[in-house]
Amino acid sequence: MNYRSDIRNIVIVAHVDHGKTTLVDAMLKQSKVFRDNQVVGELIMDSNTLEREKGITIMAKNTALVYRGVKINIIDTPGHADFSGEVERVISMADGCLLLVDSVEGPMPQTKFVLRHALQRGLKTIVVINKIDRPNSRIAEVIRLIHDLFLELATSTDQLDFNVLYASAKEGIAVTEPGMPGKDISPLFDCILANMPPPRIESGPFQMLVSNLDYDSHKGRIAIGRIWRGKVASHDTVVRVNADGNLDYYEVAEVFTYLGLKRLKVDQAEAGDIVAVTGIEKVSIGDTIADSTQPSVLPRIAIGEPTVEMTFGVNTSPFAGREGRYCTTRQLRERLYKELETNLSLRVQDTDSPDTFLVKGRGELHLAILIETMRREGYEFEVSKPEAITKVIDGKLVEPVELLTIDTRDEYIGVLTEMLSKRQALMIDMRNDGQDNVRLVFQIPTKGLLGFRSYFLTSTRGESTMNTLFLGYEPSRGEIVSTRNGVLVASEQGFAITYGLNNAQGRGLTFIDPGTQVYEGMIVGLIPRLQDIPVNVCKEKKKTNVRSSTSDIAVKLTPPLKMSLEQAIDFVNRDELVEVTPKNIRLRKKLLTYSQRLRSISAARLSIK
């Protein structure tokens, strides 16, 4: 067995927002992978448009730098629980991990999730307490909590022996003792070189596991992964082993390794390195690429199961086909199945209806990102309310259950506990810091979390945060009665006008501006009672010949409540849909006419009797 002392492969893991991508910025900037006059900005690795807009990492990505002659391959991962599949996908490329923990927040639910994965894979860990520049940082307490976490999760005693560094990724500094003045990030580089194991390589013919895919319009599919054995060069004949164990032979076109944000073309690459290879036309993530004469297969990547599902269907609204470039069943189906190539924790199934597909993901945000991406690509379709995925185990109906951690203020405890008990949550812990800050921990079925986030944000006026961690499956405790109020439903097709909207505002909140085109069955507002009511928002004022002195004074409307895509998905009930087009997000009743809805309500009543 040999080691490559000229390489280290590390993955950066943490809870959301603890500063992983900012730390990669600091490492890249200091290692001078950019030209002196190059403007690189912040969160360099968050290169995807949605990542930049939302300020979160969605996909795991590779980069590399050279420090003291050693190449450090770095994998940045997302911290949001919905993108946990990305961490699972890439973690096998690394030998070590940097576990980042915010010096104020301390270990959070996702810290536990990612550390458990890293330790189970036997990765060596360096703990980086980040954001030490924050005024209220509580380093000693955070370290104690991290030790507790390691005690709970370690699979061997030597995992309890980990290095700790203190950093401000934002200021680009790391130090070995708290309170030490920082100069730059080099203590982190030194610690990586000294403590992260160099890649171990077996001798033998070429073998690599594909952990990521990329596309290039000229080069075609690019397979990215770690070489476990042997070496690969352009023009080599290799074999690809797919999920069914089938073998296909290819000639490698080009081989690349990473440096900074670029891929460098190389003549050949050897075991221990992370490479990108072109020419393997039909490759998928999880496939092994190996020497064509002696192929042997690497274990495929294990990905956790999805917990939430919703349907994606061809748009059936009266406005169908007006705003999208891709609107047909075939286009929708192709796009969804294509997504499976890179989005490993997603599942897609055909349903009894040829126009509708069941899409399963790791959470509402996971699905919402897919919807937003597709709509920006020009797709038009409709989606249903997300539902928790239930299963039958030993004849019993079971459902996903999550740990919900809420950080809030004392004054919101009452409203939150009341709201959560209706959603079948059980409180497990409540801790107060003596300064009105409180941490509440609940166990809650996933179905109880669906639609909760928007209530949570409004009822705590944006002053609280919530985080979830998937726990497992438990026997179902039955349905949750919807707590959402009824909606205002447009009764006519046309353009909404101020007069009609003003009438609607007499009943509740409205969602649309005057001039918005509506159809019968479209949801245009929310009312403070449970039953829906139809309204005619296109209704004009009756013309009279008499001009009264006051009645023609322009009516002032309250500004409408505009929902984002995520809020819309969170909002709809089972008998409703979200219509998604590149230009608009509309809410609608599944049954568009009032009489259809009445009939379905009375049919439901009859079936109960």
Ligand X SMILES: Nc1nc2c(ncn2[C@@H]2O[C@H](COP(=O)(O)OP(=O)(O)OP(=O)(O)O)[C@@H](O)[C@H]2O)c(=O)[nH]1
* Residue ranges binding Mg ion (CB under 5 A): 20-21, 57
Of 12 and 314, CB closest to ligand X: 12
Report residue 602: phi and psi, to 5°: -70, -30
Cα separation, 16 vs 44, in Å, equals 17
Of 43 and 427, CB closest to ligand X: 43
Q: Give the binding range for ligand X (CB under 6 A) out of 128-136, 203-211, 352-360, 391-399.
A: 128-136
Answer yes or no: are the C-beta atoms of 15 and 108 closer than 8 Å.
Answer: yes
CB of 65 to ligand X, least distance (A): 17
* Residue 168 interaction partner, one of ligand X, Mg ion, none, beta carbon < 5-8 Å per kind: ligand X
Of 21 and 345, CB closest to Mg ion: 21
As a whole number of angstroms, the longest Cα–Cα distance in the chain is: 98
**Binding residue (CB under 6 A) for ligand X from 130, 311, 317, 343:** 130
- Tally of residues, the chain: 609
Of 50 and 527, CB closest to ligand X: 50
- What angle in degrees, to the nearest 10, is found between the helix axes of 139-153 and 109-120? 50
CB of 175 to ligand X, least distance (A): 12
- The amino acid sitting at 583 is K
Cα separation, 372 vs 367, in Å, equals 9
Cα separation, 354 vs 109, in Å, equals 40
CB of 26 to ligand X, least distance (A): 8
Of 21 and 159, CB closest to Mg ion: 21
Q: Binding to ligand X (CB under 6 A): which residues in 208-247?
A: none
CB of 58 to ligand X, least distance (A): 8
| x-or-dash string of contact with ligand X, 66-105, rule CB under 6 A | ------------xxx-------------------------
**Binding residue (CB under 6 A) for ligand X from 9, 10, 11, 18:** 18
Cα separation, 333 vs 349, in Å, equals 10
446 scored as a contact of ligand X (CB under 6 A): no
**Quick one: tokens of 582?**
């590149």
CA nearest to 297, candidates 208, 379, 223: 208
Q: Binding to ligand X (CB under 6 A): which residues in 156-185?
A: 168-170
128 scored as a contact of ligand X (CB under 6 A): no
Q: Which helix (H) or strand (E) holds 271?
A: none
Number of residues that bind ligand X (CB under 6 A): 21
The three-class DSSP label of residue 22 is helix
**Binding residue (CB under 6 A) for ligand X from 89, 131, 240, 335:** 131
Q: Dihedral (C-alpha) 77, 81, 83, 89: value to the nearest 10 degrees?
A: 60
19 scored as a contact of ligand X (CB under 6 A): yes
Cα separation, 319 vs 3, in Å, equals 62
CB of 464 to ligand X, least distance (A): 18
Cα separation, 97 vs 228, in Å, equals 18
The position carrying tokens 């409408």 is: 560
Q: Binding to ligand X (CB under 6 A): which residues in 26-55?
A: 43
For residue 54, the 8-state DSSP code is H
Of 87 and 208, CB closest to ligand X: 87
Of 15 and 589, CB closest to Mg ion: 15
* Residue 447 interaction partner, one of Mg ion, ligand X, none, beta carbon < 5-8 Å per kind: none
CA nearest to 199, candidates 225, 173, 163: 225
Q: Given the rule CB under 6 A, which residues bind ligand X?
A: 14, 16-22, 43, 56-57, 78-80, 130-131, 133-134, 168-170
